[in-house]
Amino acid sequence: MSVIGRGLSKRFAKAARPAIHSVDFNAPSGSITTLLGPSGSGKTTVLRIVAGLEIADAGNVSIVGEDVTAVPPERRGVGMVFQSYALFKHMNVADNIAFGLSVRKEPKDAIKARVNELLELVQLDGLGDRWPSQLSGGQRQRVALARALAIRPRVLLLDEPFGALDARVRIELRDFLRRLHDETHLTTLMVTHDQDEALELSHHVVVMNEGRVEQAGAPHDIYDHPATPFVAAFVGGANVLRGHVTDGRAEVGSFSVDLPTGATEGAAATAFVRPHDVKIAPVPDEGTAARSVTNDAPEVALAKIERLVRVGGMVKVTLKLPSDESMTVEMPKSEIDALSLSEGDRVMVDLRQAKVFVEDYAI
């Protein structure tokens, strides 16, 4: 039951920049697909067009091979969960879940059975008589999920479903949603700006920026092989080093990085280096280290530790490079302790991996 969008465009005011422009995506059947991007990238507009709550200026949407572009929302077979829960305050939990079935005039016995089934599925057994105000945020969102599932939708749409919850509850609900999907195998299209949610929950990720699709693919492909500078910087976070091509190498910051043949001499080069792809070590001998950096290891540079911040079992290290650029490194606390590093120490910096873009050409 895949969901496919082709050439979707939408402008909310004639003089305004398009909210989305020529968006193509495919949410594979039985998978969780996430539209990932910063605020204003157009991902919620795409979701609302799929739901039928917005009409695209151009393009079409198909669900299970059926073109639903002109089909009203109630006939598309989709269930939607909003960030704000959108529960009916004057209805108890059971009646909220039953709402869609009641509108469809399902038999009362069938409604009751379905509600009980869903209460068990979302782990809210025995709470059917409670009011939304008597529930925690995480419980309310599970009620919203149950209400969306009650009508047995072909597709589940989630619009920032964990955005209003605190960090601990977000993590718990991510685990819950993945287990729920493992039970239902319902084709799901989710919107989020949270990279952890997208990478942890999704089978397929569509990265959006300024109303366009930057890259689509499996989470590990998006992370390991970013197709554009935006994806490299946005997904996972990265240090950005700028420079140019000299003698077939990218001279970026204080580093010289190998490039394939064919890179244009003098072209602008930008390297994206993830914090965990940087290795640091104490300087054994200033003279020896300097010669090594200059002659034998151009991908190594000397730097000074400006700051060490411990975050749980990890340590964020801020370095100052000779080029006066700053670089962030993430290392396990045990590794920092083993190296006996402190603020003010000089270290050797080795780039384990860098993603380099030369002008508009990705290396």
One-letter identity of residue 47? L
pLDDT for 56 equals: 96
Which element (helix H / strand E) includes 143? helix 137-150
Coil/strand/helix, residue 156: strand
Mean pLDDT of 197-211: 95
Q: What DSSP string runs through 53-67? A: SS--SEEEEEETTEE
Kindly tell me if the per-residue pLDDT of 103 is higher than 60. yes
- Pick from 258, 246, 213, 282: which is nearest to 354 by CA? 258
pLDDT for 294 equals: 46
Kindly tell me if the per-residue pLDDT of 143 is higher than 80. yes
pLDDT for 295 equals: 46
pLDDT for 253 equals: 83
Mean pLDDT of 6-14: 94
pLDDT for 52 equals: 96
Lowest-pLDDT choice from 38-47, 52-61, 103-112, 354-363: 354-363
Higher pLDDT, 199 or 360: 199
Mean pLDDT score across all residues of the chain: 90
pLDDT for 333 equals: 92
Kindly tell me if the per-residue pLDDT of 205 is higher than 90. yes
In this predicted model, what pLDDT tens digit does every residue of 217-227 receive, in sequence order? Answer: 999 999 999 99
Mean pLDDT of 310-323: 92
pLDDT for 285 equals: 66
Lowest-pLDDT choice from 35-39, 50-54, 217-221, 336-340: 336-340
Residue 85 and residue 143 in contact, taking contact as beta carbons nearer than 8 Å: yes
Kindly tell me if the per-residue pLDDT of 154 is higher than 50. yes
- Pick from 54, 105, 59: which is nearest to 80 by CA? 54
Tokens representing 171 are 């993590």
- Pick from 11, 180, 173: which is nearest to 79 by CA? 180
Kindly tell me if the per-residue pLDDT of 77 is higher than 90. yes
Kindly tell me if the per-residue pLDDT of 82 is higher than 50. yes
How does residue 167 score in pLDDT terms, banded at 50, 70 and 90?
confident
Q: Please, what are the domains in the chain?
A: 3-228 (3.40.50.300), 239-362 (2.40.50.100)
pLDDT for 296 equals: 52
Give the Cβ contact number of residue 360 at 10 Å.
9
Torsion of CA 201, 309, 292, 295, to 10 degrees: 60
Tokens representing 325 are 């650029």
In this predicted model, what pLDDT tens digit does every residue of 234-280 receive, in sequence order? Answer: 998 899 999 999 988 899 988 888 887 778 888 999 999 999 999 99
Segments of 144-285 assigned E as strands: 155-159, 187-192, 204-209, 212-217, 239-246, 249-252, 255-258, 268-273, 278-282
Tokens representing 359 are 């002008």
